Chain A
Amino acid sequence: MTTEQRIGQVANYVDERTGAAAWMKKNLQKVFPDHWSFLLGEVALYSFVILLLSGTYLTFWFDPSAREVIYEGSYAPLEGVQMSAAYASTLHISFEVRGGLLMRQIHHWAALIFMASIVAHLMRVFFTGAFRKPREGNWIIGIGLLTLGIVEGFLGYSLPDDLLSGTGIRIAEAIIQAIPVVGSYLSYFAFGGAFPGEAFIPRIYIVHVLLLPGAFLALITAHLMMVWYQKHTQFPGPGRTEKNVVGYPLMPVYMAKAGGFFFIVFGVTAFISAVASINPIWLYGPYTPGQVTAGSQPDWYMGWLDGLVRMAPPLETYFFGYTISWNILIPGLIVPGILFTGMALYPFIESWITGDKREHHLLDRPRNAPNRTALGAMSITFMLVALINGGNDLIATNFDLSINQIMWGTRIGIIVLPPLAFIITKRLCLSLQRADRELVLHGRETGRLLRLPHGEFVEVHEPISPEKAYLLTSHEQAPALALPDVDGRGVKRSGALRNKLRSRMSVAHSEAVPKVSADDLKEIEHH
């Protein structure tokens, strides 16, 4: 029997029951463009699979219960100590289950890699403009996944009920409690009474292992189906247009590459987990509200939030006997709310500014969208300053600084540095555009000096390839929106302020160094 016949037999069985052959035939040859930055989202997907596998393993031994037990395991320093069953079972996984510690570390490292790759993927999508029509919906799903990831990660490292994670829960409880009017009620409902109670660990366990993973699966499925259906974006270059996709077919090249990449991500995660200890909960001891570890740090993706809370000014308002804790509400709820809402709405804001309602499948080079790139740099700067303050105690200890200096530095920095980053980045982008223009007009500097007959030294420039010239000039430079204050009959249009704002932003958005046209080149040749 030939290979074709054998495949045919299986295919026949399936196809007669599903009619899948036509669809499969088309999609096995689906073309995916190749670029290293397209792997970032893949890393996130594969870490999620690793999290599911390692997490399921951990559930076989983990006991999500706040029930008090006396520790009798093999870790001598905690012998006879009173602790929750959750903490005791985590110790059991770490010390008695063979491979248990490795799996715990894989689970925790994979969670950090998951969040890091989501953020990196988000930046790639943002800076290349991949979120533009028709992909706004997928962008919003992505923001949803990022948000869920932060919550899921926090719940995950809270489960072992060690001193560090208990402190984290205490802080989360204080944020809930600070919500005006209903805060203390919400806290009592969430915790089944006063903090810490015995209900919280089992409750967050079911959210962590069932509810949120379910939501993840649904959202990731939708995310990938959209990518599949709308086809992947591609970087600009010769032969690549808005109407085509240039790349490799799913079968066999992409299957081998993507499948192989899963094993690489898993292997690297296992390697890190083999050599680098993470969250050694046995060193922290069981949670008790009267104690705390010095240098309390959340995982990095919560660090910016903690940094914001640390730098908040000590503001509380009292009126008619009620208290509003601005020092908790602003950094804990209001600022993150604005950041994430703004991020989710950004595709619509940009399209409103540019008036561009067309589909985009070719990516932008970040320098060719200076305003957007500068905005991204500004947001990253904001987050970094907050993150630095989240580790201010460790920075103070390690670099011999005073915590007060760091705190004041970041308090001022978070207001001053982001706008500065915006201005610098925008100037950099425009300079890079100017450099591109130079390159196309005058060619590449060869480093060869030529002495002219009359003694002058000149550097020899070499023309760049037509492919490169095309790449550097193929982007679109849309003019700013023309939004006159008055309509055709000289009557003032409604929403004047809105129009003014929009045209101002549109002018800022379209600022660019004019790209080289074919006419420019011809003119140069005549010289």
Chain B
Amino acid sequence: MSNEIEAIKDPGLPAHIHRKADHDPVAAKRAERQVAILFGISSVGTVLLIASFFIPEDIFIFVPVMGSQNAHQLGLGLGMAISLFFIGMGAIHWAKTLMPDQEVIAYRHELRSEDVDRKEFVVAVKDGVEASGIGRRSLIKRSLGAALGLSALSPILLLRDLGPLPGNDLKETSWKAGTYLVTDPGDRRIRASDLEVGAVAQVLPESDDPEHRKLNDIAKDAVLLIRLRPEEFNLDAERLSWTHEGIIAFSKICSHMGCAVALYEQQTKHLLCPCHQSTFDVTRAAKVIFGPAARPLPQLNISVDGEGFLIARTPFSEPVGPSFWGRISS
């Protein structure tokens, strides 16, 4: 359809070139030996695998390039690799040297059925539909549709107990007014003087049962304490009052996707989340200065009790962690 001009003619399949093994019995015998050798190497590999299984696990050997290697692991792996790889090599060498290598031609048949069959199929479907009467009996059609639709509700209902509804769970943490900040790990209360200027510490709310903290709680409660010189802050009066002698506390759970914001750069006073590189400026209440996070890390309002131990003055003023649909609504 495209070219009225004459195309270059198909010269047909090129003439077959015979291999040496096809007509030379010596070459064929050689190929046979090669295949047998390849299969033989495979068996050696299996022996190596079996032997390695019994090598004690604390023996290390030096392998050039790779350095010190566990002999047991390396032997098992190499044994298995050799035993499998050379079965494959043998089989393919066999196919390439000794099995027929003359290309053969098979013909394709159009996938489309004969016209008669296609017509008869349409008639059969039409007859079937008519015989069932689904077209005429609309009462059956509609009630069946309703029944099927309703029955599809049952799996949804039965899956309801996969989990509880979130309720206010995502908006609350264990931090209450007066909760002591304790070290993680260690669970010791902290005085302002425990933290030098420039230092950073991970803290958790004091718990009755510090041995068995739930991961679910840590996922919301983890807090970072950072101590700067008070004059280094660039905060409004309210946020400044949430700090104590240069100690500022932020939720450690990233406001982007909930990773632990674990990297603190002392020089620049930036907090960096290693997952997606959202960067927060500690001096400006963890304002986002780079990366995909849209919100600052929530700041925890802290103070000290009568004995000088750090406490939370109020709970977090906003939900911690990644955003969700109803995050700000009451």
A residues with a Cβ closer than 8 A to B are 29-31, 34, 68, 98-99, 101-102, 105, 134, 167, 170-171, 173-175, 177-185, 187-197, 199, 230-231, 238-239, 241-249, 252-253, 256-257, 259-268, 270-271, 273-275, 287-296, 306, 309-316, 318, 320-325, 327-328, 331, 359, 361, 392-393, 403-404, 407, 440, 466-467, 469-470, 473-474, 476-479, 516-519, 521
- Take A291-B260, A327-B256, A477-B3 as given contacts and tell me if A238 and B108 are in contact as well, using a CB distance cutoff of 8 Å: no
**Per a CB cutoff under 8 Å, which of A31, A242, A244, A267 touches B84?**
A267
Q: Is the CB of A98 within 8 A of B53?
A: yes
**Per a CB cutoff under 8 Å, which of A273, A296, A306, A310 touches B291?**
A310
Total number of residue pairs linking A and B with CB closer than 8 Å? 333
Instruction: Write out the residue numbers on chain B whose beta carbons fall within 8 Å of the beta carbon of A247.
Output: 103-104, 106
Q: Is the CB of B252 within 8 A of A290?
A: yes
**Per a CB cutoff under 8 Å, which of A178, A264, A325, A393 touches B274?**
A393
Q: How far is the CA of A254 from the CA of B2 in the complex (A)?
A: 37
**Closest beta carbon of chain B to A513's beta carbon, Å:** 14
Interface residues in B240-270 by Cβ distance below 8 A to A read: 252-253, 256-260, 262-263
Q: Which residue of A lies closest to B91 (CB)?
A: A260
- Take A170-B259, A180-B325, A264-B92 as given contacts and tell me if A289 and B82 are in contact as well, using a CB distance cutoff of 8 Å: no
Q: Is the CB of B92 within 8 A of A260?
A: yes
Considering residues A170, A293, A516, which has the most beta carbons from chain B within 10 angstroms of its beta carbon? Answer: A170
Number of B residues near A (Cβ < 8 Å) is 98
**Closest beta carbon of chain B to A329's beta carbon, Å:** 10
Instruction: Write out the residue numbers on chain A whose beta carbons fall within 8 Å of the beta carbon of B106.
Output: 29-31, 231, 244-245, 247
**Closest beta carbon of chain B to A73's beta carbon, Å:** 13
Q: Is the CB of B100 within 8 A of A195?
A: no
Interface residues in B63-99 by Cβ distance below 8 A to A read: 66, 72-74, 76-78, 80-92, 94-96, 99
> Which of B24-32, B144-152, B215-223 sits within the interface?
B215-223
Q: Is the CB of B222 within 8 A of A289?
A: yes
**Per a CB cutoff under 8 Å, which of A174, A244, A252, A516 touches B258?**
A174
**Closest beta carbon of chain A to B223's beta carbon, Å:** 9
Q: Which residue of A lies closest to B202 (CB)?
A: A290
- Take A256-B91, A257-B92 as given contacts and tell me if A289 and B84 are in contact as well, using a CB distance cutoff of 8 Å: no
Q: B239 on the interface (CB 8 Å rule)?
A: no
Q: Which residue of B lies closest to A31 (CB)?
A: B106
Q: How far is the CA of A268 from the CA of B163 in the complex (A)?
A: 44
- Take A31-B104, A171-B259 as given contacts and tell me if A238 and B81 are in contact as well, using a CB distance cutoff of 8 Å: no
Q: Is the CB of B326 within 8 A of A274?
A: no
Instruction: Write out the residue numbers on chain B whose beta carbons fall within 8 Å of the beta carbon of A193.
Output: 163-164, 169, 216
**Per a CB cutoff under 8 Å, which of A30, A187, A246, A318 touches B103?**
A246
Q: Write 15 A-B pairs (CB below 8 A) sorted by A numbering.
A: A102-B76, A170-B259, A180-B325, A189-B159, A189-B162, A195-B219, A196-B216, A199-B163, A243-B108, A246-B104, A270-B77, A314-B291, A314-B293, A325-B322, A478-B1
Q: How far is the CA of A270 from the CA of B184 in the complex (A)?
A: 42
Instruction: Write out the residue numbers on chain B whose beta carbons fall within 8 Å of the beta carbon of A324.
Output: 325
- Take A270-B80, A274-B76, A323-B325 as given contacts and tell me if A314 and B288 are in contact as well, using a CB distance cutoff of 8 Å: yes
Q: Which residue of A lies closest to B212 (CB)?
A: A68
Q: Is the CB of B215 within 8 A of A196?
A: yes
Q: How far is the CA of A325 from the CA of B324 in the complex (A)?
A: 8
Q: Which residue of B lies closest to A229 (CB)?
A: B111
Q: B155 on the interface (CB 8 Å rule)?
A: no
Q: Which residue of B lies closest to A98 (CB)?
A: B53
Q: Is the CB of A325 within 8 A of B163?
A: no
Q: Ordered nearest first, which 5 A-B pairs have the shortest CB separation?
A: A274-B77, A267-B85, A260-B91, A263-B88, A239-B13
Q: Is the CB of B323 within 8 A of A322?
A: no
Instruction: Write out the residue numbers on chain A whose beta carbons fall within 8 Å of the beta carbon of B278.
Output: 314
Q: How far is the CA of A195 from the CA of B163 in the complex (A)?
A: 11
Interface residues in B204-230 by Cβ distance below 8 A to A read: 204, 212, 215-216, 218-220, 222
Q: B143 on the interface (CB 8 Å rule)?
A: no
Q: B328 on the interface (CB 8 Å rule)?
A: yes
Instruction: Write out the residue numbers on chain A whose beta carbons fall within 8 Å of the beta carbon of B12.
Output: 238-239
In the complex, besides A260-B87, A264-B89, A323-B328, 13 extra interface pairs with C-beta distance below 8 angstroms are A178-B323, A184-B326, A189-B159, A243-B108, A266-B85, A267-B85, A275-B66, A290-B184, A314-B288, A327-B294, A403-B277, A518-B7, A518-B9
Q: How far is the CA of A98 from the CA of B52 in the complex (A)?
A: 10
Q: How far is the CA of A309 from the CA of B258 in the complex (A)?
A: 13
**Closest beta carbon of chain B to A323's beta carbon, Å:** 5
Q: Is the CB of B2 within 8 A of A99?
A: no
Q: B276 on the interface (CB 8 Å rule)?
A: yes
Q: B308 on the interface (CB 8 Å rule)?
A: no
Q: How far is the CA of A187 from the CA of B100 in the complex (A)?
A: 59
Instruction: Write out the residue numbers on chain A whose beta carbons fall within 8 Å of the beta carbon of B218.
Output: 288-290
Q: Which residue of B lies closest to A178 (CB)?
A: B323
**Per a CB cutoff under 8 Å, which of B81, B257, B295 touches A316?**
B295
**Closest beta carbon of chain A to B19's beta carbon, Å:** 13
- Take A256-B99, A264-B92, A478-B2 as given contacts and tell me if A407 and B290 are in contact as well, using a CB distance cutoff of 8 Å: yes
Q: Is the CB of B258 within 8 A of A195?
A: yes
Q: How far is the CA of A469 from the CA of B11 in the complex (A)?
A: 10
Q: What 0/1 pattern do residues 268 to 300 of B give for CB contact below 8 A with A?
A: 000000111110000000001011111100000
Q: Is the CB of B103 within 8 A of A248?
A: yes
Q: How far is the CA of A299 from the CA of B212 in the complex (A)?
A: 32
**Closest beta carbon of chain B to A57's beta carbon, Å:** 12
**Per a CB cutoff under 8 Å, which of A188, A248, A265, A291 touches B104?**
A248
Q: Is the CB of A477 within 8 A of B2?
A: yes
**Closest beta carbon of chain A to B207's beta carbon, Å:** 13
Q: Is the CB of B166 within 8 A of A188?
A: yes
Q: Is the CB of B108 within 8 A of A242?
A: yes
Q: How far is the CA of A242 from the CA of B288 in the complex (A)?
A: 60
Considering residues B1, B2, B95, B321, which has the most beta carbons from chain A within 10 angstroms of its beta carbon? Answer: B95
Q: Which residue of A lies closest to B93 (CB)?
A: A260
- Take A101-B73, A270-B77 as given contacts and tell me if A263 and B87 are in contact as well, using a CB distance cutoff of 8 Å: yes
Q: Is the CB of B328 within 8 A of A246?
A: no
Q: Is the CB of A267 within 8 A of B81?
A: yes
**Closest beta carbon of chain B to A436's beta carbon, Å:** 12
Q: Which residue of B lies closest to A191 (CB)?
A: B163
**Per a CB cutoff under 8 Å, which of B88, B256, B274, B326 touches A294?**
B274
Q: B14 on the interface (CB 8 Å rule)?
A: yes
Q: How far is the CA of A371 from the CA of B51 in the complex (A)?
A: 57
**Closest beta carbon of chain A to B221's beta carbon, Å:** 8
